[in-house]
């Protein structure tokens, strides 16, 4: 690992310039990184040059992230090493169920075996670098990745629920105007084991501070989950697997700013989790102003995609709508929202209190305006719920995550 980083980061800087796409993903060596790096070279030259041969050999012999290989592959490893096959199950259980953060934690394995695993594999787990506790009990954590990036996740406790709000990317490329993450540069996608770590660590916080496991997970933290599609789906698979955290996918909601093509793909893939669309403005002109993604994924396309998703999965859909003062809080805005609501099989509209951030010019509407808006929706028999902010005092509320504080 160290050699790999030194090699590509320092000794061969021009390699990164010539082949920039190799460096978009985290520079941990995984089962899939090897062919991605070596294949295009062979396709072009059809023979190993000394340099490329050297580099590929080095990569092939670098330790792999053990959570990027299957149980079956771990079994094969133990059998090939002349060890018992059942060791693989023990290791797998430590990785996914007991959430070991290092090979050293795997105490039912011999010391020698733990050392051997540590030289032949990597286990780049997230760690918590800081936590902040709000006066309302919300806990915001900043996690550190193996390559020194920071990403945030939030535990939102209520009487009935313990909800984890998790991030899917480090930063975000969609630049929504009201969101603190949108003003950050997107560094990279989180891998599925990193997303899994966020949930497992927040689950531990929930058990420790509130005596209860997580009941719900929402992908509403940093990043656009549908632009990290495979990792998000794989993380959900591990979170809901019996040999993972064993949570029902029905308790997981993935929230998107609106990537219509990927909403359709969710339908084709017959996912079992719930979907939320961050609408926030119910006509294209206003939505373009606050969410640039609307220019290529307009409301018509999104409503069509949501209908397709529902047809394929019958899963619950929610619309999210943040109220901004004098922007989308009038009766006319409410009427436009009702119109969109009638065009999609949405169960609910969450009306969200805006949480001001330094970079944005928006403000929160006065309470009487919010009440009038809610009343209007109720009069038109819309199933709408007002979501009050949690964790505002620690910048943990909706739209405030930006590695601050």
Applying CB under 6 A, the residues found at the interface with ligand SF4 are: 172, 174-176, 179, 181-182, 222-224, 257
- Per the CB < 8 A criterion, the answer to whether 274 and 317 are in contact is yes
Q: Could you give the C-alpha distances from 84 to 23, 72, 113, 119, 390, in angstroms and in order?
A: 37, 13, 12, 19, 50
Residue 385 CB neighbour total at 10 angstroms: 12
| Marked catalytic residue, from 56, 176, 179, 398 | 398
Q: Taking the complex as a whole, how short is the minimal distance between the CB of residue 179 and ligand SF4, in angstroms?
A: 3
What is the length of the chain? Answer: 405
59 versus 222: smaller Cβ distance to ligand SF4: 222
Token match 């632009």: residue? 227
- Per the CB < 8 A criterion, the answer to whether 89 and 71 are in contact is yes
Q: Taking the complex as a whole, how short is the minimal distance between the CB of residue 239 and ligand SF4, in angstroms?
A: 20
Q: Which among 297, 362, 371 is positioned nearest to 334, based on CA atoms? A: 371
Q: Taking the complex as a whole, how short is the minimal distance between the CB of residue 320 and ligand SF4, in angstroms?
A: 10
Q: Taking the complex as a whole, how short is the minimal distance between the CB of residue 178 and ligand SF4, in angstroms?
A: 7
245 versus 402: smaller Cβ distance to ligand SF4: 402
Identify how many contiguous H helices and E strands the chain contains and give both numbers.
14, 14
Q: Which among 164, 247, 251, 157 is positioned nearest to 211, based on CA atoms? A: 157
Q: Taking the complex as a whole, how short is the minimal distance between the CB of residue 127 and ligand SF4, in angstroms?
A: 23
159 versus 185: smaller Cβ distance to ligand SF4: 185
The kind and range of the H/E element at 140 are: strand 139-144
75 is catalytic: no
152 is catalytic: yes
Q: Taking the complex as a whole, how short is the minimal distance between the CB of residue 299 and ligand SF4, in angstroms?
A: 16
DSSP state of 145: -
The Cα–Cα gap between 144 and 153 comes to 11
74 versus 291: smaller Cβ distance to ligand SF4: 291
26 versus 182: smaller Cβ distance to ligand SF4: 182
| Marked catalytic residue, from 152, 194, 224, 320 | 152
257 versus 266: smaller Cβ distance to ligand SF4: 257
DSSP state of 380: T
The Cα–Cα gap between 87 and 170 comes to 35
Which residues, listed in sequence order, are joined to residue 319 by a DSSP beta bridge?
A: 277, 349
Which residues, listed in sequence order, are joined to residue 349 by a DSSP beta bridge?
A: 319, 384
- Per the CB < 8 A criterion, the answer to whether 205 and 141 are in contact is yes
The Cα–Cα gap between 327 and 193 comes to 40
Handedness of CA 110, 113, 119, 120 (dihedral sign): negative
153 versus 182: smaller Cβ distance to ligand SF4: 182
User: In 3-state terms, what secondary structure has residue 141?
Assistant: strand
The Cα–Cα gap between 90 and 93 comes to 5
Q: Taking the complex as a whole, how short is the minimal distance between the CB of residue 301 and ligand SF4, in angstroms?
A: 17
Catalytic residues: 152, 398
């Amino acid at each position: 690992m160290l050699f790999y980083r030194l090699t590509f980061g320092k000794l061969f800087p021009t390699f990164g310039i010539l082949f920039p796409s190799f460096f978009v993903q985290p520079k941990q060596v995984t089962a899939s990184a090897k062919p991605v790096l070596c294949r295009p070279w062979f396709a072009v030259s059809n023979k190993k040059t000394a340099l490329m041969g050297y580099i590929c050999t080095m990569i092939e012999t670098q330790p792999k992230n053990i959570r990027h290989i299957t149980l079956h592959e771990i079994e094969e490893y133990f059998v090939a090493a002349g060890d018992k096959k059942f060791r693989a199950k023990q290791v797998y259980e430590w990785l996914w169920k007991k959430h070991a953060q290092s090979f050293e934690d795997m105490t039912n394995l011999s010391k020698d075996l733990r050392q051997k695993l540590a030289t032949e594999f990597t286990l780049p787990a997230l760690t918590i670098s800081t936590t902040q506790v709000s006066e309302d009990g919300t806990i915001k954590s900043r996690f550190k990745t193996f390559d020194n990036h920071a990403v945030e996740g939030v535990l939102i406790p209520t009487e009935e629920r313990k909800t984890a709000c998790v991030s899917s990317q480090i930063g975000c490329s969609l630049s929504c105007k009201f969101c603190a993450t949108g003003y950050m540069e997107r560094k990279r996608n989180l891998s599925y084991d990193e997303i899994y770590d966020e949930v497992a660590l927040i689950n531990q916080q929930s058990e420790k501070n509130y005596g209860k496991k997580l009941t719900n997970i929402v992908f509403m933290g940093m990043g656009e989950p549908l632009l990290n599609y495979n990792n998000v789906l794989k993380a959900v698979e591990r979170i809901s697997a019996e040999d993972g955290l064993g949570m029902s996918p029905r308790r997981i909601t993935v929230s998107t700013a609106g990537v219509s093509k990927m909403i359709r793909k969710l339908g084709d893939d017959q996912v079992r989790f719930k979907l939320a669309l961050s609408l926030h403005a119910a006509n294209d002109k206003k939505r373009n102003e606050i969410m640039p993604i609307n220019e290529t994924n307009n409301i018509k396309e999104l409503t069509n995609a949501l209908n397709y998703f529902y047809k394929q999965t019958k899963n619950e859909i929610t619309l999210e709508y943040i109220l901004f003062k004098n922007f989308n809080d009038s009766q006319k805005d409410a009427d436009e929202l009702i119109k969109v609501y009638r065009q999609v099989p949405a169960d609910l509209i969450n009306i969200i209190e805006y949480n001001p951030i330094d970079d944005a010019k928006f403000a929160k509407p006065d309470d009487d305006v919010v009440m009038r808006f809610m009343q209007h929706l109720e009069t038109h028999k819309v199933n709408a719920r007002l979501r009050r902010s949690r964790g505002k005092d620690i910048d943990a509320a909706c739209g405030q995550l930006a590695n601050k504080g």
